[in-house]
Amino acid sequence: MVPVMTIDELHALIEADFPQIRGKFDVTEMHEDGVTVRMFITEQNLRPGGTVSGPSMFSLADCAYYLATLAMIGPEALTVTTSCSIDFMRKPAPGDLVARARVLKLGKTLSVGDVMIYSHGSDELVSRASVTYAIPPKRA
């Protein structure tokens, strides 16, 4: 697979279509099969005990895979999650999280892949998600 969008184009898409997440996520790397996305952790993302909450990690997995899919198909904002399953492997370290989203199979109507989430600066896996996105049909 070859990405058809650049990091700057993905950032512009977030600004235009999802201003509510502005400043929360940053696409830091583009790969031949996906993207790496950093999530800036704030107090809103913490659960009791001071660790990053499961819903925040789920949000990162979903957002990262959405951006990985769009990187491969172009700016199809109506691409939607059809399935997402996440396994929490260990407690994340305090601070930001980094997700490596990979598109494993890209068809005309579905994009299937995985997302590996790490604490920033660590190579120990925090969580792993399996994600499927529905791609809208091309309009004539």
pLDDT tens, residue by residue, 87-127 = 999 999 889 999 999 999 999 999 999 999 999 999 999 99
DSSP 3-state percent helix, strand, coil across the chain (nearest 5): 25, 40, 35
Q: How does residue 140 score in pLDDT terms, banded at 50, 70 and 90?
A: low
Write down the pTM of the prediction. Answer: 0.95
Architecture per CATH, domain 7-134, reads as Roll (3.10)
Asked whether 118 and 82 are in contact (CB, 8 A), the reply is no
Is the distance from CB of 123 to CB of 105 less than 8 angstroms? no
Among 97, 76, 78, 68, which Cα is nearest to 7's? 68
Q: What is the pLDDT of residue 101?
A: 99
The b/e string for 83-107 (b: 16+ C-beta within 10 A; e otherwise) is eeebeeeeebbeebbbbbbbbeebe
